[in-house]
Amino acid sequence: MSGGDGYLSSHLWDTSDLYRNAVTELLEAANVMKLDPNIAERLRVPKRAMIVSVPIRLDDGHIKTFEGYRVQHNMTLGPGKGGIRFHPEVNLSEVAGLAMLMTFKCSLVGLPLGGAKGGIRVDPSQLSRQEAQALMRRYTTEINMIIGPDKDIPAPDVGTDSRHMAWMMDTFSQEKGFAVPGVVTGKPIEIGGSLGRAESTGRGVVYTIQYAVQFLKDNGKSAPKIDGGTVAVHGFGKVGAVAAEEIYHLGAKVVAVSDASGGIYNKNGLNIPDVMKWVEKNRVVAGYKEAEPISNDELLALPVDFLIPAAIDGVITMKNVGRVKAKIIAEGANGPITADAMKDLEGRGAFIIPDVLCNAGGVIVSYFEWVQGIQNFFWSETEVNNKLAEVMSNAFKRVTDNYLKYKCGMKTAALITGVDRLNKAMLLRGLFP
Ligand code: NAD
């Protein structure tokens, strides 16, 4: 049989825009860096996936079965790593695309980890605490043969948090007969979590914005100032709220933030710690007094210096990209800008900090949590933050070196950085059998 029939689409994986987008970006990077086509052929599909049915008894006594997934994209560099998403529209293809992004993210920041992702097709806002716990525990049991501290280590993602990780760790440990804290990261501190993990992704987003401003200045380009600069944040969850708070404390004017219920706007800048208190009580940003309402679409089109899309994928597409005016866009979420929209933005002079670099703070501190757990030796938050900044600034430098070398977009440069390390490792390990 001869190869060389190009990249055939797959009937199984590529049903979501997110997956197709990730493959398009991979192939673009492969083309620019002149990657060995045999390596690209192996990277364009996941290594393994598990689809499970997750039946639970609801509070009203009925049994309902949910669909769950865990996809391991590539484990050349180490155990799989990636979050678990609770979302009503999550599907196998989307999880596979997110797992692929995790492979490149872990590789580009230099971690000894591979890429994985999981999800359950459920609307978490409709679950009681008891139902969420039952769902997480049963899902853990269903996938327990492919996860573990040396195999694949889940973490929180959209719709899940440290409580879900505690339930997952407990269920896995009950089945083993002893405590296995290393099976998950993003755990509560009391059971082996790391200081600074909860804030790490949002904090890392703001580190990369600082590095981007400096990089532009160093290369003779105009760059907005953070102190006094204007910011809009799309998505006010674990990533968006922390990023908004961090940049607010650096003196920026965060003029708008939003969540799934809509947004709020104040041209003089929102008091972010106060908005966070409001959200703690009311769950959504809508209704906050010192602001006027704004739609998510309007927020994306604001003439701000910095835009942080930190909610979900596919929010800036060819349909709305023409209205986006921000000078620096930091992809806090995974895949918020489609590949074609990104080309359009860069063509118009916007500087984009791509997801695999911008939101890598979470997986970096997850790695620190895993390392601290293995050693049973825990670091102070200052130590965690200093090490996070060091890893992120080195990664930013590697990506911008490739950006200048290949004269390509930042996303392509980031993928080249990740794929290059993987390529060397895959060639050294060879193809079994
Ligand atoms: P989260 O569930 O804590 O928050 C998501 C936020 O987005 C919420 O405010 C929600 O209301 C809002 N949202 C959802 N749908 C929306 C819509 N259609 N329009 C506007 N807002 C909407 O999730 P998170 O952990 O903050 O994750 C956000 C993104 O960051 C995801 O893409 C995730 O994969 C990525 N990410 C998260 C981490 C992490 O450590 N949590 C790490 C890396 C990447």
Query: Does 410 map to a domain?
Result: no
Distance (angstroms) between ligand 1 centre and the Cα of 433 equals: 41
pLDDT of residue 42: 95
If asked whether residues 213 and 338 sit together in one domain, one would say: yes
pLDDT tens sequence across 132-159: 999 999 999 999 999 999 999 999 999 9
- Residue 239 CB–ligand 1 contact under 6 Å: yes
Can you give the CATH number for the domain in which 349 is found? 3.40.50.720
- Residue 359 CB–ligand 1 contact under 6 Å: yes
Distance (angstroms) between ligand 1 centre and the Cα of 262 equals: 14
Distance between CA atoms of residues 156 and 260, nearest Å: 19
Ligand 1 site-directed mutation target among 81, 104, 259, 365, most atoms within 8 Å of CB: 259
- Residue 158 CB–ligand 1 contact under 6 Å: yes
Distance (angstroms) between ligand 1 centre and the Cα of 94 equals: 15
Q: Mapping DSSP to helix (H, G, I), strand (E, B) and coil, where does residue 148 land?
A: strand
For residue 433, whether the previous peptide bond is cis, meaning omega lies within 30 degrees of 0, is yes
If asked whether residues 304 and 162 sit together in one domain, one would say: no
Atom of ligand 1 nearest to the CA of 261: 11
If asked whether residues 310 and 349 sit together in one domain, one would say: yes
Atom of ligand 1 nearest to the CA of 160: 2
The mean pLDDT of the chain is: 96
- Find out whether 213 and 226 touch, Cβ atoms under 8 Å: yes
Last residue of one domain, picked from the residues 326, 353, 380: 353
Q: Which residues are catalytic?
A: 117
pLDDT band at 7; cut points 50, 70, 90: low
pLDDT of residue 12: 84
- Residue 369 CB–ligand 1 contact under 6 Å: no
Atom of ligand 1 nearest to the CA of 336: 32
Residue 326 has pLDDT above 80, yes or no: yes
Distance between CA atoms of residues 159 and 143, nearest Å: 19
Report the pLDDT averaged over residues 60-75. 98
Residue 6 has pLDDT above 60, yes or no: no
Distance between CA atoms of residues 315 and 116, nearest Å: 23
Distance (angstroms) between ligand 1 centre and the Cα of 1 equals: 45
pLDDT tens sequence across 8-42: 566 789 899 999 999 999 999 999 999 999 999 99
Last residue of one domain, picked from the residues 179, 211, 237: 179
**Two tokens at 47?**
């290594």
If asked whether residues 235 and 171 sit together in one domain, one would say: no
Token look-up 């219920």 returns 261
Can you give the CATH number for the domain in which 88 is found? 3.40.50.10860
**Two tokens at 363?**
């997986």
Distance (angstroms) between ligand 1 centre and the Cα of 260 equals: 10
pLDDT band at 395; cut points 50, 70, 90: very high
Query: Does 329 map to a domain?
Result: yes
If asked whether residues 108 and 245 sit together in one domain, one would say: no
Report the pLDDT averaged over residues 264-293. 97
Ligand 1, atom 2, lies closest to the CA of 158
Distance (angstroms) between ligand 1 centre and the Cα of 300 equals: 15
Query: Does 280 map to a domain?
Result: yes
Residue 53 has pLDDT above 70, yes or no: yes
If asked whether residues 330 and 229 sit together in one domain, one would say: yes
If asked whether residues 236 and 122 sit together in one domain, one would say: no
- Residue 244 CB–ligand 1 contact under 6 Å: no
pLDDT of residue 3: 53
Report the pLDDT averaged over residues 325-344. 96
If asked whether residues 248 and 116 sit together in one domain, one would say: no
- Residue 185 CB–ligand 1 contact under 6 Å: no
- Find out whether 27 and 7 touch, Cβ atoms under 8 Å: yes
pLDDT of residue 69: 98
Atom of ligand 1 nearest to the CA of 363: 42
Last residue of one domain, picked from the residues 335, 353, 371: 353
If asked whether residues 232 and 349 sit together in one domain, one would say: yes
If asked whether residues 205 and 348 sit together in one domain, one would say: yes
pLDDT of residue 11: 73
Total number of domains constituting the chain = 2
pLDDT of residue 275: 98
Question: pLDDT exceeding 70 applies to what percent of the chain?
Answer: 98
Query: Does 6 map to a domain?
Result: no
pLDDT of residue 164: 98
Residue 5 has pLDDT above 90, yes or no: no
Q: How many CA atoms, within 13 angstroms, populate the side-chain half-sphere of residue 13?
A: 25
Residue 160 has pLDDT above 80, yes or no: yes
If asked whether residues 342 and 204 sit together in one domain, one would say: yes
- Residue 237 CB–ligand 1 contact under 6 Å: yes
- Residue 366 CB–ligand 1 contact under 6 Å: no
Q: What pTM value is reported for the model?
A: 0.95
Ligand 1, atom 41, lies closest to the CA of 157
**Two tokens at 397?**
């430098």
Query: Does 419 map to a domain?
Result: no
Distance (angstroms) between ligand 1 centre and the Cα of 158 equals: 5
- Residue 184 CB–ligand 1 contact under 6 Å: no
DSSP letter for each residue of 312-372: -SS-B-TTTGGG---SEEE--SSS-B-HHHHHHHHHTT-EEE-HHHHTTHHHHHHHHHHHH
- Find out whether 286 and 261 touch, Cβ atoms under 8 Å: yes
At residue 160, what are phi and psi to the nearest 5 degrees? -130, 160
Distance (angstroms) between ligand 1 centre and the Cα of 183 equals: 23
Atom of ligand 1 nearest to the CA of 239: 26
- Find out whether 259 and 278 touch, Cβ atoms under 8 Å: no
Structural domain span for residue 301: 200-353
Report the pLDDT averaged over residues 212-219. 98
Ligand 1 site-directed mutation target among 71, 108, 233, 239, most atoms within 8 Å of CB: 239
pLDDT tens sequence across 267-278: 999 999 999 999
**Count, residues in the chain:** 433
- Residue 118 CB–ligand 1 contact under 6 Å: no
- Residue 354 CB–ligand 1 contact under 6 Å: no
- Residue 362 CB–ligand 1 contact under 6 Å: yes
If asked whether residues 153 and 270 sit together in one domain, one would say: no
